[in-house]
């Protein structure tokens, strides 16, 4: 089981790089609000995107336009030029695209000066954001795999020279690739060897859970044994577990062919879908405090006999969970971790994570619609108003229920 833990680590490595980059950008441009134009003149500086045309008959107009940006204190980050599409003669005019950083109080004067020496000056207020799934069906396209830890490429993988293992792994991958949203997850006939392996792991780990696992895990594990066929002699089917999760949490499972890219993995979570390999179950690693003791949560630890005991020994360093620090902390790929992070409680971690997410820069706000299983960009007054009306109706219902209780 531990050999498969390495695959989830690659995902975390890519997330660490994303978080580290985000932090570096934030430190460099602490006064830079999320990319916007000049809609809020009293909020300091912002990023401005402009398109304009200049004469291509000489270098003077282009040079003059750049000096205009400098004159008004604008810092140019990016510039592109191309022949203007509507010019009468080929090469007569250049169309310029400029991304600059400028104080909002200087924006109007910059535009006024630029219009005197350039034509068709336009401010772009809605740059195209990176594409992302908008409907849950779009997750069928989110199957980009990281091959770093695949047995065909990783010589340290225990299955690198095992052709039977590779063949079996390929069978599971094919099932996952063929799966489409709305389909029933295929039921798998596990081999006697796989069931024997499962039995050994199951017995070893379940004996440790009462002393090492957090109460939430223990309670849920009992429910899985009761309703999903979790026993030492039977490997549960993903569809059975998915049905259970849907009823309890609103989440469903989706078979994954291998280690998904961080972007695709997080896209699935946005739609309350958890991608899972058909033969291994994992979420994340971590420790939490409960009744004065430190307990483990997440199958990353709770499915590894050795790491579970190691994490709760006096060997690794233990630090308080802080998303700002944890997100950029170095992560070991091929061994147990030298550092584990402790959450005061699940509630405390949720609050910290939400606060961390609010600091991430993005040019728009999103809203998940659980009725249509779709993501909506809140970019108009009407969309926000509609969302507020729905919340208002829900509050009325809750207030009515509260009145009847009281």
Annotated binding site for Fe cation: 284
In the three-class reduction of DSSP (H, G, I as helix; E, B as strand; rest coil), residue 279 is classed as coil
Q: Scan for tokens 């360093």, then name that residue.
A: 317
* Helical packing angle, 60-71 and 107-117, nearest 10°: 170
CA 290 to chain centre: 28
Q: Which two tokens stand for residue 361?
A: 């820069």
Residues contacting residue 369 through CB under 8 Å, at least 6 positions apart: 375, 376
First to last CA, the chain: 52
Rounded to whole angstroms, how far apart are CA atoms 128 and 50?
14
Among residues 128, 129, 25, which one has the least CA distance to residue 77? 25
Write out the binding residues: 284
Residues contacting residue 374 through CB under 8 Å, at least 6 positions apart: 134, 135, 136, 368
Q: How would you class 341 by CB atoms within 10 Å of its CB: exposed for 0-12, middle for 13-18, buried for 19 or more?
A: buried
In the three-class reduction of DSSP (H, G, I as helix; E, B as strand; rest coil), residue 33 is classed as coil
E strand or H helix at 46: strand 45-55
Rounded to whole angstroms, how far apart are CA atoms 213 and 312?
10
Q: Scan for tokens 């997750």, then name that residue.
A: 139
Residues contacting residue 294 through CB under 8 Å, at least 6 positions apart: 287, 288, 312, 318, 342
């Amino acid at each position: 089981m531990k050999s498969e833990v390495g695959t989830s680590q690659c995902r975390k490595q890519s997330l660490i790089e994303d978080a580290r980059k985000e932090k570096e950008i934030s430190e460099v441009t602490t006064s830079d609000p999320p990319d916007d134009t000049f809609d809020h003149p009293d909020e300091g500086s912002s990023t401005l995107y402009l398109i304009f045309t200049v004469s291509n008959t000489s270098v003077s107009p282009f040079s003059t336009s750049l000096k205009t940006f400098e004159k008004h204190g604008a810092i140019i980050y990016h510039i592109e030029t191309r022949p203007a599409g509507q010019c009468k003669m080929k090469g007569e005019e250049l169309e310029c695209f400029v991304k600059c950083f400028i104080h909002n109080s200087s924006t109007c004067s910059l535009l006024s000066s630029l219009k005197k020496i350039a034509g068709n000056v336009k401010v772009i207020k809605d740059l195209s954001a990176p594409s992302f799934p908008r409907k849950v069906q779009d997750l069928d396209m989110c199957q980009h795999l990281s091959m770093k830890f695949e047995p065909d490429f990783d010589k340290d993988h225990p299955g690198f020279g095992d052709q039977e293992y590779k063949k079996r792994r390929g069978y599971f991958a094919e099932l996952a690739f063929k799966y489409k949203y709305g389909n029933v997850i295929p039921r798998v006939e596990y081999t006697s060897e796989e069931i024997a392996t499962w039995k050994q792991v199951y017995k070893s780990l379940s004996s440790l859970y009462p002393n090492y696992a957090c109460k939430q895990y223990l309670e849920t594990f009992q429910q899985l044994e009761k309703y999903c066929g979790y026993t030492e002699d039977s490997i549960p089917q993903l569809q059975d577990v998915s049905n259970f999760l849907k009823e309890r949490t609103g989440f469903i499972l989706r078979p994954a062919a291998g280690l998904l890219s961080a972007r695709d993995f997080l896209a699935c979570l946005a739609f309350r879908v958890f991608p899972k390999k058909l033969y291994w179950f994992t979420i994340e690693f971590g420790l939490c405090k409960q009744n004065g003791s430190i307990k483990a949560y997440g199958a990353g630890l709770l499915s590894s006999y050795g790491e579970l005991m190691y994490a709760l020994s006096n060997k690794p360093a233990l630090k308080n969970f802080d998303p700002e620090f944890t997100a950029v902390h170095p992560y070991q790929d091929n061994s147990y971790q030298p550092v584990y992070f402790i959450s005061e409680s699940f509630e405390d971690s949720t609050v910290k994570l939400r606060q961390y997410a609010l600091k991430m820069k993005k040019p728009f706000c999103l809203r998940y619609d659980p009725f249509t299983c779709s993501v909506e960009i809140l970019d108009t007054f009407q969309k926000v108003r509609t969302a507020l009306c729905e919340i208002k109706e829900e509050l009325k219902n809750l207030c009515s229920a509260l009145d009847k209780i009281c």
